[in-house]
Structure 1
Amino acid sequence: MTYLSRVRINPLRAASRTLLANPRALHGAVTAGVPDITPGDRILWRLDTDHPRRPTLLVLTPSKPDWTHIVEQAGWPDAEGEHYAVRDYSPLLAQLAVGREFAFRLKASPVQNTSKPTKTSPHRTKTAAELHHRSYRMAHRTAAQQLTWFLERTQRWGFTIPEARTDSAAPGLEPSAPDTPAEAQQPAREARITDRSRSTFTKPGTRSPVTLTTATFEGRLRITDPGLLQAALLGGIGPSKAYGCGLLTLAPLSTGHH
């Protein structure tokens, strides 16, 4: 059985500052809350910082977790209220059906594979040569590249992004001719980037730093293949899943979406 958890983080505590600043450290705290992890188990997590004074950790686990250690180290252990919530994920999966629409959020690490990177370190070049790698994995760094990466892959994840709803032009103001380039004529989609970040940290036992480039996507999706979408929800999207990327979450559409 799969569970989705929400954990409140107190950003003013010393342990919290370490977790919030280092995805590797937060990954360790997440895995410590899941008993009996077996090979092949996928744990997905995401740190939402919409409210800087109360960041929220979301975690998708294949078994029921216990987040007491995070509350004691980085939460409000003596405060009243719910410190964390754990919910069965099955009811959401049961709602997946062709044509249904949901609001979504995804933090991902958009990348491309290229045989001719524009920039790379001497260490990375040497390693690739030694291992006979034929391509490099390079992060997309501009918002336009990151949004294109996302929109071009939604079908393989079992959904599409509907066209943005806009009011019709006033009489006499409609475009008279398609003089704009083809790419400019593409309809706007109900998806946007709400946050972009780039962080650097090191792994234990290594000297080379890890650089993580991420983008958070939000908007509205329409299901085209429930099986593919379920696989994306449970397995995650894109690389760097151990560092807080790949967790796609769905929510009912607000009253503004009809």
Structure 2
Amino acid sequence: MIRVMYEPLRFDLLSLFPETLNGFTSESIIGRACEQGLINVQSLDLRNWAEGRHRVTDDRPFGGGAGMVLKPEPIFAAVEELRNPESKVLYMAPDGETLCREVCQELAEESHLILLSGHYEGIDQRVRDELVDREISVGDFVLTNGALAAATLIDSVSRFVPGVLGEEGSLSQDSFTGGRLSFPQYTRPADFRGMKVPEVLLSGDHGAIARWRDEQMVEKTRVRRPDLLN
């Protein structure tokens, strides 16, 4: 068991569908990180801060149009209750800045992240103008449930919290480290249906293996993501 010598990074997700994260926070690496107190993830129902008997959280957009927009009142109430002077409020939005390794590293240095996940046609612009510190996109596509984007952020940011991965060397082999994609990985058997593992990986020559991996990273990046090499 890892002993925590500092406060865990706290994630508070505000969502209309908080159950989305239930399995995510109890399984595998993220589940262990929560158990060990390295991170603290809460998935909170935005309806808890809605007013009225029916706890309405959305309404039709002014000016007309399809879909519904999340109302400002419950979001303001929730954020104002949850945040402290160190908190950062993030809105998961397809038109936000792209989530990348550098952004993940920056966010891992924070102590408390409040995540707003949109649904339907998003959230009232006044929330974005007055409450949100950063808007984050996980890609050039739109999800029906913004909590899925928030889960992606929680996972990718948590990898940079000390102790979460166990083997810190894993980070140095990730894609995008040093602006390159990762090298191919192989395991036993060395020959599967005539498909053989490259001889260099079986040679025991660590220098040659390192050079081969470096060459593979450069070539894969050149073919698939040449923009990273510029």
Same-fold status (TM-score > 0.5) = no
TM bin, normalised by shorter chain, reads under 0.3
Structure with the bigger RCO (C-alpha within 8 Å, sep 6+) is 1
TM-score normalised by length of structure 2: 0.24
Which of the two has greater strand per residue?
1
Which of the two has greater helix per residue?
2
